[in-house]
Amino acid sequence: MQVKAIYEDGVLNFPEPLRFKHRKFEVLVSIPEDELDTAGGELMGSITTEVKSVDTYVPIGERLDGILGSYRGKLGNVTPQTVKEIWHGHLQEKHRDNK
């Protein structure tokens, strides 16, 4: 099976969710030659990169923290559910004007 993915800073991102039967298996990756930087004299073939699927589970608190960024600290010590409710309220206000 061939699947397209985007390589960005050491991570392969799959645009479609994939469910794998095993946690570890061998894959063949095709890299366009014009994307290899051979000027430095050493290729990156020995570096292990992290592979993330869109289907990778990330706890809701971590996802919300990633969305909120620096605003997370301004909210103080609140639960992920409270942050989620604040975020939903923000989205409703934002999109109410676009209707």
User: What is residue 3's three-state secondary structure?
Assistant: coil
Amino acid, res. 83: V
User: What is residue 90's three-state secondary structure?
Assistant: helix
Give residue-wise pLDDT tens across range 70-79.
777 777 888 8
Using CA atoms, how far residue 89 sits from 78, 84, 94, in Å, is: 16, 9, 9
In the chain, where the domains are located: 1-57, 60-96
pTM value is 0.36
Query: If you ran DSSP here, which 8-state letter would residue 22 be given?
Result: S
Q: pLDDT at position 24, please?
A: 81
Give residue-wise pLDDT tens across range 53-66.
555 667 777 777 77
Distance, in Å, from the CA atom of 46 to the CA atom of 35, rounded to the nearest integer, reads 16
| pLDDT average, residue stretch 33-41 | 74
Non-local CB neighbours of 19 within 8 Å, separated by 6+ positions: 55
